């Protein structure tokens, strides 16, 4: 497939532009024709891969699952339902994805097989659940469960953003206040202190030295920060050991690390419960959940759990052998195994982690807001003491 930039005409005569992958111009024209667009011209794009692999907003996936679930439940064939979704979707990239699904199904493929052609849109868990729904004949129910799962993931992502947004805002304010003080206030006072010719205390000399360093070498500081961030990102992307170390650091951070761990486990519990409820074997469900864990240490722990279950151990004993999961979760799984209601136990695990994440985020916000205010106050107080002390000495030495 090649990415093309195209120009076409809608049925009402409007000119539209867009990008779409196709085998050649003839294939591009046929694809546009299926979308009720009259092809005008098209050119290949060399640098469009990033756009082609751009993630689809969760809102589009939620709408996709909801509308397809409603249509299939009403007895509308999959192909007609997807065609309706293709024509009503406003997101350009997702509209082309749905158009690709329609073409694949017209070629005789199943929905799950067609979805596997778009791994950046439909992950392995999504495709596995679609296949389970097609096999069991319960595709509407599976689509509804997928929709609810994506909603939960969106809520968990929102909790994660709540954890970091406030500290980022306050840290930005602190850095901005320091930069203004060091670049504008301290140099003026430094000139005054030199004219007075008095001996300055250590904290004042350090403050003036930091001001001069920032004024002379601010460009180098920005360059070092940018180079360090870029190098760290490349190392995490390309080195498995660096990725593992980074993931371990993210889980070991005070305050934020435990919440991040709970968010990851809440997502895993929801996916695992949903896949097991859809009839996917436990080993296969764990293998799919590993790929979407988002953390190598958690994925390794799940891999060890999967290996122990494959060796014949019970689900509860396999999870108990991994310190990642608290005893309460293991106990719920053991009760589920003993009563033959493992699906209910997994749903309880999902509820446990969801509630734990909400409570942990609320507690962290209650702690971090006053803590950051104290840090900001301490920094400003230190600057004031370093500046006002010599100013007070100068004033006291003035003749009355």
Alpha helices in the chain (DSSP H): 25-34, 49-52, 58-73, 78-88, 92-106, 111-115, 124-136, 139-180, 186-196, 202-238, 240-252, 256-277, 282-291, 296-310, 315-320, 327-339, 342-397
Chain-centroid distance, C-alpha 319 = 26
Residues of the chain with pLDDT under 70: 1-2, 21, 23-24, 45-54, 196-198, 393-394, 396-400
* Cα separation values, 156 from 239, 266, 348, 354, 358, Å: 28, 8, 17, 8, 9
C-beta contacts of 96-104 below 8 A and 24+ residues apart: 96/18, 96/19, 96/20, 96/21, 97/56, 97/121, 98/64, 99/20, 99/31, 99/34, 99/35, 100/21, 102/34, 103/31, 103/34
Q: What is the pTM (predicted TM-score) of this model?
A: 0.68
Domain ranges of the chain: 2-44, 58-122, 144-399
Q: What is the pLDDT of residue 330?
A: 85
- Is residue 98 within 8 Å of 82, Cβ to Cβ? yes
Q: Looking at the domain that runs over 144-399, which CATH code has it been given?
A: 1.20.81.30
- How long is the chain? 400
Which of 115, 96, 120, 95 lies closest to 105 in space, CA to CA?
115
- Is 156 within 8 Å of 360 (Cβ atoms)? no
Q: Kindly list the strands in the beta sheet with 2-9, ordered across the sheet, starting from the edge strand earlier in the chain.
A: 15-22, 2-9, 38-44
DSSP 150: H
Q: Would you give the DSSP letter of residue 56?
A: P
Question: Judging by DSSP bridges, how do beta strands 38-44 and 15-22 pair with one another?
Answer: unpaired
* DSSP run (H or E) holding 295: none
């Amino acid at each position: 497939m090649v990415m093309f930039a195209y120009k076409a005409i809608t049925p009402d005569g409007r000119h539209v532009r867009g990008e779409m992958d196709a085998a050649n111009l003839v294939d591009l024209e046929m694809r546009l024709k299926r979308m009720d667009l009259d092809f005008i011209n098209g050119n290949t794009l060399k640098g469009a891969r990033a756009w082609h692999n751009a993630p689809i907003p969760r809102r589009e996936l939620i709408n996709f699952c909801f509308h397809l679930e409603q249509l299939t439940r009403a007895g509308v064939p999959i192909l007609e339902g997807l065609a309706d979704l293709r024509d009503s979707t406003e997101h350009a990239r997702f509209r082309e994805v749905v158009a690709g699904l329609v073409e694949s199904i017209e070629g005789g493929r199943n929905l799950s097989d067609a979805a596997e052609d778009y791994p950046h849109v439909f992950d392995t868990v999504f495709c596995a659940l679609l296949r389970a729904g097609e096999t069991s004949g319960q595709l509407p129910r599976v689509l509804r469960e997928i929709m609810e799962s994506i909603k939960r993931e969106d809520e968990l992502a929102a909790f994660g953003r709540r954890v970091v947004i406030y500290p980022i805002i306050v840290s930005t304010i602190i850095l901005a206040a320091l930069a203004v003080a060091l670049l504008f206030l301290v140099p003026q006072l430094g000139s005054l202190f030199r004219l007075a010719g008095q001996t300055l205390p250590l904290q004042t000399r350090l403050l003036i030295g930091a001001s001069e360093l920032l004024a002379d070498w601010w460009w180098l500081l920005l360059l070092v920060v940018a180079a360090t961030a870029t190098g760290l990102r490349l190392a995490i992307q390309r080195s498995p050991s660096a990725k593992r170390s980074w993931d371990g650091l993210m889980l070991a951070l005070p305050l934020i690390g435990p919440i991040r761990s709970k968010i990851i486990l809440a997502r895993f519990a929801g996916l695992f419960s949903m896949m097991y409820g859809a009839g996917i074997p436990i080993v296969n469900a764990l293998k799919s959940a590993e790929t979407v864990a988002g953390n190598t240490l958690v994925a390794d722990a799940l891999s060890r759990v999967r290996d122990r279950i494959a060796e014949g151990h019970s689900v509860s004993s396999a999870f108990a052998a991994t310190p990642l999961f608290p005893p309460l979760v293991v106990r719920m799984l053991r009760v589920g195994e003993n009563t033959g209601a493992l699906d209910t136990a997994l749903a309880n695990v999902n509820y446990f982690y969801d509630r734990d994440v909400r409570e942990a985020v609320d507690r962290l916000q209650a702690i971090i807001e006053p803590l950051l205010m104290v840090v900001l106050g301490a920094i400003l107080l230190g600057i004031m003491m370093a500046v006002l002390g010599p100013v007070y000495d100068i004033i006291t030495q003035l003749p009355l």
